[in-house]
Amino acid sequence: MSSGSPRSEYTLRRRVHFYETDTAGIVHFSNYFRYMEEAEHALWREVGLTIAKRSGVGFPRIAASFEYHRPLRVEDEFDVRIRIVAMNEKTIRYECVLLKGDEKIATGSLTIICVRAVDGQAMKSVPIPPEIADRFEIASE
């Protein structure tokens, strides 16, 4: 794990597994969200953090979307490029692009919010702790 300068993006290299495809041999649409989340977790690990609940805060998803441009098939190698495009006191918004070589496969977005959960009470949004926020920055265009 690295914990150097703040990061704004990460690229994860991936290969399609057979179990991720449907009967037509094409990646099932729901797996694209998993790919995006894998890249997000890798970005957090790259800065020496884990997105798993710790320090009393968690990061549930409040928005997620994908647009599909080309299919992925079993054994295809592809990159999942995720970058932080917005960050405020309580939320982080990512954009994600899946690429097979230079070919754009899908584009997506994900927004997470920092919350604190106390047993027996509803989750409440809270500011992202500085020890987390300071590890990230907004990607430049």
Catalytic residues: 22
Q: Which of 100, 87, 35, 101 is nearest to 66 (CA)?
A: 35
C-alpha to C-alpha distance for 11 and 105, rounded to whole angstroms? 15
| Residue among 66, 139, 140 nearest 107 (CA) | 66
Q: Cα separation of 14 and 29, whole Å?
A: 16
**Distance of alpha carbon 39 from its chain centroid, rounded?**
5
The whole-angstrom separation of Cα 17 and Cα 119 is 39
